[in-house]
Amino acid sequence: MKDDQILNNVRGKAKKWLEGNFDTETKASVKDMLDNNESELIESFYKDLEFGTGGLRGIMGAGTNRMNIYTVGMTTQGLSNHIKKVFANKEKIKVAVGYDNRNNSRLFAETASKIFAANGFRVFLFDALRPTPELSFAIRHFQCQSGVVITASHNPKEYNGYKVYWEDGGQIIQPHDKNIIDEVKSISSINEVLFDGKQEDIEIIGEKIDNIYLERIKSLSLSPEVIERNNDLKIVYTPIHGSGVKLVPMALRNFGFENIYNVPEQDVVDGDFPTVKSPNPEEAAAMEMALQKAVETDADLVMATDPDADRMGAAIKNNNNRFKLINGNQTGTLLIYYLLNKWAENGKLQGKEYIVKTIVTSDLLDCIAEKYNVEYFNVLTGFKYIADIIKKNENKKIFIGGGEESYGFLAGEFVRDKDAVISCALLAETAAWAKDQGKTLNDLLIDIYLEFGFFKERLYNIVRKGKAGAEEIQNMMKKFRNNPPSYINNSQVIEIYDYQKSIKKNIVTKEESSIDLPQSNVLQFILKDGSKISIRPSGTEPKIKFYFGVQDKLDNKSNFETMDQELEIKIEAIIKSLNITQKIYH
């Protein structure tokens, strides 16, 4: 579409907002864009917000491509219409609504709740911000048909979002996601949205459900006697201004830990995230204040959660007694190793247990599962696919744990989304278990590498914002799909997985086979030397993601630092050989 066609299209959409049933402030903002800011007008109206791997997510402001009470309203009405069709025979439909600390989160949560109520639903609305996984738990506890949490996870402060959950407590997957979008698109006017629900149909929930949730988390503890011997383990925790502020420390104390240090400045609930540039525990800068506190207190473990407390970042002490950040693959490795070891030690493995990870998460988890004869599943990126495996195996097999490289992990089946409250409690227990053996978590990680091989991973993002950026990302994917490299870093590409075409191709034998997973815009290149490169556009952010995995055998603990550097150099060489710092892709 040519630029003048795009402008005419967005002007037409924007003028409808001037004429429709929108508030005065919104109309003034739209008029200002029409009169004075053509580029912002295009960004705000050139498309409608759509569901990605995490649901609806976007910059707050006026427009169809922005998060506001009207896009939230139309999405909620579309969701309500879909729910009513699916559960047409249900006497009373129930939904749960939660939210985090972001600006406008409470407003959006109340807006959604009133619309649900106006559609005849019974609504359970949290009294204040709560971790996203507790919303998943509440859906199952109250036997709801659906649920919504207002959050943009770890995105910058300008963003907010809207995650939709189904009756199993997992995020929506096909066909519900597409059907909801169809319902939203069928709404031609804001007047079709039922905004005025009755307050008596909205039940406020809070402390009572917190206590039930925390008790279920406590039931996951596998080594209470170990914690009792090591309850003086020093733990620094920060919620980074978000919704883990109360429940994570409570969960740690419920497990038996006594030395928990907070970061007072970051305990302040604030959607502007005043102490960090980005509230993302994947980024070292977000952990700086917690690391400083850890040095001051000579802590053993540092943990941080993102705004909606579904993802956890951690730092552990290295061999020189200095703190180092560990990534999501390493956290998942430590947790899976601990869980499987203790399940085996406690005689709980009966042959029907399993773990789950995503296709871009370290294959080291598969190796650990194989040692314990535990089945493992690999699914597409997005925790909703892990939840789907749990749902399909319910009452047939037992889910021990699983996660994804992007700092998300879950144990147990009573929650169906990644859960940083659970993750923090279990990682602290793993640290206590290691300490009981005279080891640190770093020692434990090296022991795992000695046994299974040194697996090292890195995520590399290229950010391309706006409409032009989205097109550039599409061109990048097209380039790698239509002209795949034969060699990467002087190692032959021997297998290509194209998840969009659902085809796995062996380059050496020329054999092709189908991939038994839903279609997704993901490419994977497997190299002769064992390296793995995965490429996918983000479903929630304006970026394309490159996942690198390399491995080698570690023969001696003393060689750990050297091999770590060698594998890091290898990843750098792979990045260079792909030439992915190039700005424009045709």
Q: Which residues are catalytic?
A: 153
Cα separation of 23 and 488, whole Å?
55
| Nearest Cα to Cα of residue 445 among 335, 300, 283, 563 | 335
Intra-chain end-to-end CA distance of the chain, in Å: 17
Q: Pull the structure tokens for residue 577.
A: 């050989």
Alpha helices in 310-455 (DSSP H): 328-345, 364-371, 383-392, 420-436, 441-452
Based on the number of CB atoms within 10 Å of its own CB, is 107 exposed (0-12), middle (13-18) or buried (19 or more)? middle
Based on the number of CB atoms within 10 Å of its own CB, is 378 exposed (0-12), middle (13-18) or buried (19 or more)? middle
CA angle 523, 527, 529 (to 5 degrees): 155
| Nearest Cα to Cα of residue 507 among 523, 517, 520, 492 | 492
Give the pairing type, strands 408-411 and 398-404.
antiparallel
Cα separation of 214 and 205, whole Å?
15
Cα separation of 330 and 364, whole Å?
9
Q: Is omega for the bond preceding 175 within 30 degrees of 0, making it cis?
A: yes
Based on the number of CB atoms within 10 Å of its own CB, is 198 exposed (0-12), middle (13-18) or buried (19 or more)? exposed
